[in-house]
């Protein structure tokens, strides 16, 4: 092995350890995977879901709890979708898998007006199919491949275009109350995942349905955040930290903080302070 190859191998080992540590920390912080869980890993064929599956398989061998992994891909019948790629890869790594087939492509292209982005409807249709299949196979957790950058981008998308202060939680209960959804890559940076996927040479399948839509708001947000990071290194770390450091009393959501009850709190504290003073003077 040449010096250059040795250096590259060392860098990869550091990268792999960092990703495994971050995924393990997210799993621990949010109790994502517990003893006996059957985790349905949603695999799209992109770098994120490949990395998620690979890291989870590595952790499965060393984790203090026993859990099961099953990979699931939804073939949405996009033109030119290489149907053989994922089955060949999943067979080679030895993970149980299912390939679902549902033509959501035709529905999306029919319902969404020309010039509009497809992702909203596409994701809803995909999510419904995957949730239903999770129930069929008895999966206790559904793992999605969203990473730290996705979470931050969603925060600003909701802030700028949705008028709400919310992002993607690392763990959530589905709207129907039947499924726990987890995001094991919640602490992982996209650039690390990109490097990892390149090193591992995953057989990436591009999203021909929405990836070519250059007018997507998410892409604009991504470019904005990357520009901030170039100009002010460390800003993204600060934003990521802020998502986990919320002070409801410093915002204006009356459902999260009892602003109307502050007067009562003030009176109780004054009375408590007076009692302390009286005890000292007694």
Distances, alpha carbon 156 to alpha carbons 27, 151, 174, 229, in Å: 25, 9, 22, 15
Q: What's residue 211's pLDDT?
A: 46
pLDDT along the chain (282 residues), means of 10: 83 96 97 97 95 97 94 84 92 95 70 62 73 93 97 96 95 90 98 97 78 68 96 96 95 94 92 80 70
Structure tokens belonging to residue 70: 């099953």
The pLDDT of residue 222? 95
Alpha-carbon gap, residue 129 to 110, rounded angstroms: 19
pLDDT at 212: 47
Angle at which helices 3-29 and 47-62 cross, to 10°? 80
88-142 tens-digit pLDDT: 999 999 999 999 987 766 666 666 666 666 566 566 777 778 888 999 999 999 9
Quick: pLDDT tens for 167-195.
999 999 988 888 999 999 999 999 999 99
- Is the pTM higher than 0.85? The answer reads yes
Transcribe 232-258 into DSSP letters: STTHHHHHHHHHT---GGGS--TTTS-
Torsion of CA 143, 98, 93, 29, to 10 degrees: 10
Measured in residues, the chain has a length of 282
Rounded Cα distance between 7 and 198, Å, is: 16
- Cβ 42 vs Cβ 49: under 8 Å: yes
pLDDT at position 202 is: 97
Q: What is the pLDDT of residue 116?
A: 62
């Amino acid at each position: 092995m040449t010096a250059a190859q040795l250096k590259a191998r060392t860098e990869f080992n550091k990268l792999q350890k960092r990703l495994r540590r971050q995924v393990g920390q997210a799993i621990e912080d949010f109790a994502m995977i517990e003893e006996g869980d059957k985790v349905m890993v949603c695999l799209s064929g992109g770098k994120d879901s490949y990395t998620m599956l690979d890291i989870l398989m590595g952790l499965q061998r060393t984790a203090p709890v026993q859990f099961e992994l099953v990979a699931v891909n939804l073939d949405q019948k996009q033109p030119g979708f290489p149907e053989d790629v994922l089955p060949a890869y999943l067979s080679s790594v030895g993970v149980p898998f299912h390939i679902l087939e549902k033509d959501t492509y035709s529905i999306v292209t029919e319902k969404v007006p020309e010039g509009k982005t497809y992702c909203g409807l596409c994701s809803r249709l995909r999510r419904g199919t995957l949730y239903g299949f999770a129930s069929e196979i008895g999966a206790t957790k559904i793992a999605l491949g969203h990473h730290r950058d996705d979470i931050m981008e969603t925060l600003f998308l909701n802030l700028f275009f949705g008028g709400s202060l919310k992002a993607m939680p690392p763990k959530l209960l589905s709207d129907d109350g039947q499924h726990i959804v987890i995001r094991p890559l919640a602490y992982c940076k996209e650039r690390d995942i990109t490097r990892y996927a390149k090193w591992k040479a995953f057989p990436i399948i591009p999203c021909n349905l929405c990836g070519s839509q250059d007018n997507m708001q998410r892409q604009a947000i991504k470019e904005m955040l990357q520009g901030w990071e170039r100009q002010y290194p460390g800003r993204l770390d600060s934003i990521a930290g802020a998502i986990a450091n919320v002070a409801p009393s410093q915002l204006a959501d009356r459902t999260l903080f009892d602003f109307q009850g502050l007067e009562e709190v003030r009176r109780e504290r004054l009375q408590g302070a007076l009692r302390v003073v009286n005890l000292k003077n007694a």
